[in-house]
Amino acid sequence: MTEGQKTPFIVREIREQFPALRQQVYGKNLIYFDNGATSQKPQVVLDAINKYYSKDNANIHRGVHFMSQRATTDFEEARKIIQKYIHARKSEEIIFTKGTTDGINLVANSFGDLLTPGDEILISAMEHHSNIVPWQMLCQRKQLILRVAPINKKGELITEEFDKLLTKKTKLVAITHISNTLGTINPVKELAQKAHAVGAKILVDGAQSIQHMPIDVKDMDCDFFVFSSHKVFGPTGIGVLYGKEDLLDRMPPYQGGGDMISRVTFERTTYNELPHKFEAGTPHIAGGICLGEAIKFLSGLDIDAIQTHEKDLAHYAQDLLDTFEGMRIIGEAKKKTSVVSFIMEGIHPFDLGTLLDKQGIAVRTGHHCTQPLMDFYGIPGTVRASFAFYNTRQEVDTFIEAVEKSIQMLK
């Protein structure tokens, strides 16, 4: 297959590349609807993990021997693969992190160091804890002010209220691209334009978007974009912070140690160039290489067909769930993707999720690290079914039957 040519989107054939999907749970064929928490891994990623540790296990950037040079080449090639996929200008703008949370904390500490008392940070009411707590910590440390843009009951950002809160005092807007609980797709390109109009920067939490839609950070014009490998079919413990080069150059390092330095004396240290300035210590080498493999795998698929398929699954599941008496869907935005969160009157989400598990269906229950959002809806949590391109309508049908059976048992 030539470069740029896409693999035909045939779900059956794609599923065959994910070994975890072929197992049974409690004697039932596994139905994995917890992709919002973590995704399964294709065989090419599993093979790459094995190859690194069995053949290329060496430290990078520092060694002159063959294995070190080969590992370094593969690690830096992964950076270029990611750069190309998200349309960053330079590979130096791709910083490897431990994941989305680590990327946000890096920005909170490094970009936050440039802020002064009285400056404001604007987030939304639908944020994951990882895009709330670091900013609260920064505000306490630097005497900043945290503003929260409200949402409506459908789970959509109230644009008028966002506009009122966005002022010349705002120095950073930090917002999720897609809500992990609601599935809401936020208009990040439009929000970036508004932020820049008042002189603010914008960070986009892409943990739930990069696996579901095309990402173009130049077109989006975001200043920062963060995501995690394990949600995009790669290994855990590795992620990416994209930042505009000029901005990253102005930010001080977040951590000190090896590889992020140019020269060290006991009197002073000068820092390395991008991206190494923000990558102190030995990185998750296998993770970075295998994230590159995961992105390469994803880039070989038709992302538009993926979007259509996943939205179809979500709409199909939501329409069927809506037929149950006492069912309440949480998150009904006009623009949403492959997440369906719901609660059933008189039934705790944990109980329903437990019975679904016994029938071989993996869903997530609880507050999904969005406790303020649960408080807004006045609920303890939800059952969340989150879909990936390897899920099918037949699985949704089985899921609906299992929900009905579970409700009958719990009523």
pLDDT for residue 273: 83
Q: Which of 57-66, 191-200, 218-227 has the lowest mean pLDDT?
A: 57-66
pLDDT for residue 255: 83
- Per-residue pLDDT at 5 exceeds 70: no
pLDDT for residue 3: 53
Task: Decide which of 17 and 263 is more confident.
Answer: 17
Q: How far apart are CA 368 and CA 36, in angstroms?
A: 9
Domains of the chain: 11-42+302-410 (3.90.1150.10), 47-299 (3.40.640.10)
| Average pLDDT, rounded, for the chain | 95
Q: For 28-50, what is the mean pLDDT? A: 98
155-203 tens-digit pLDDT:
999 999 999 999 999 999 999 999 999 999 999 999 999 999 999 999 9
pLDDT for residue 1: 44
Q: How far apart are CA 404 and CA 383, in angstroms?
A: 14
Q: How far apart are CA 286 and CA 45, in angstroms?
A: 10
Q: How far apart are CA 383 and CA 363, in angstroms?
A: 7
Looking at beta carbons, which pairs linking 3-11 to residues 24 or more positions away fall under 8 Å?
6/300, 6/301, 6/302, 7/300, 7/301, 7/302, 8/302, 9/301, 9/302, 9/305, 9/306, 9/309, 9/389, 11/309, 11/389, 11/390, 11/391, 11/392
User: pLDDT above 90 covers what percent of the chain?
Assistant: 90
pLDDT for residue 256: 82
206-217 tens-digit pLDDT:
999 999 999 999
Q: Check: CB of residue 300 under 8 Å from CB of residue 45.
A: no
List, by residue number, the catalytic residues.
Answer: 369
76-124 tens-digit pLDDT:
999 999 999 999 999 999 999 999 999 999 999 999 999 999 999 999 9
Question: pTM of the full predicted structure?
Answer: 0.95
Structure tokens at 194: 């508004």
pLDDT for residue 8: 80
Nearest to 122 by CA among 86, 152, 158: 158
> What is the pairing mode between strands 120-124 and 170-176?
parallel
